[in-house]
């Protein structure tokens, strides 16, 4: 079982290490597939020597964001193993956190010139921020939580 000092004072419970690994594994694979698919919507160097390391890096970063969303949900629920008792409100909360993160990250990245979209990227009118990265951080945390649990820990489902 994984216990963190952050949760010791809130009767948080614990999460099996295997479930944590499942979240990381599923989150990484889903983000890797998403990043590979949406790369055609960005204006950047398409060389394979740039593409492969880049999508691995951003997929790892996105996986860490999903883990942060998991732990923020755990803080709100005051229970580290909330995933075994998932409720619609948990998934809605995770989606809103993903939305807030994605809007901030995309806005900052576009403003700083860290990346640019090409003409294929659908944009949110008025914000000029790409739709697919916003959807990614709203959808993939929810899918990760559900799929990691259903695929790897079905006996824990209530």
pLDDT digits (tens, 9 = 90+) for 79-107: 888 888 889 999 999 999 999 999 999 99
Nearest to 42 by CA among 137, 139, 138, 132: 132
Q: Is the pLDDT of residue 10 over 80?
A: no
**pLDDT value, residue 81:** 85
For residue 123, list its beta bridge partners.
130
**pLDDT value, residue 72:** 95
Lookup: tokens for 101:
């993160």
Diameter of the chain by CA atoms?
A: 50
**pLDDT value, residue 46:** 73
pTM for this one? Answer: 0.85
Helices of type H across the chain: 5-8, 17-38, 48-77, 88-112, 131-152
Q: How far is CA 30 from CA 1, 3, 76, 83, 125, in A?
A: 25, 26, 25, 18, 27
pLDDT digits (tens, 9 = 90+) for 26-70: 999 999 999 999 988 999 877 888 889 999 999 999 999 999 999
User: Which comes out higher in pLDDT, residue 122 or 45?
Assistant: 122
Nearest to 23 by CA among 156, 157, 140, 136: 140
Comparing 8-12, 43-47, 151-155, the range with the smallest average pLDDT is 8-12
């Amino acid at each position: 079982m994984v216990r963190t000092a952050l949760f010791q004072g809130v009767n948080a419970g614990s999460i099996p290490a295997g479930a944590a690994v499942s979240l990381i594994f599923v989150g990484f694979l889903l983000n890797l597939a998403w990043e590979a698919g949406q790369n055609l919507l960005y204006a950047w160097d398409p060389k394979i020597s740039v593409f492969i390391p880049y999508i691995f890096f951003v997929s790892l970063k996105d996986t860490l964001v999903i883990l942060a969303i998991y732990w923020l949900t755990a803080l709100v629920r005051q229970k580290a193993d909330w995933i075994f008792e998932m409720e619609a409100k948990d998934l809605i909360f995770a989606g809103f956190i993903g939305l807030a993160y994605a809007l901030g990250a995309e806005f900052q990245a576009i403003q700083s010139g860290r990346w640019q979209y090409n003409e294929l990227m659908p944009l949110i009118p008025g914000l000029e921020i790409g739709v697919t990265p916003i959807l990614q951080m709203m959808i993939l945390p929810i899918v990760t939580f559900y799929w990691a649990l259903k695929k790897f820990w079905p006996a824990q489902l209530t």
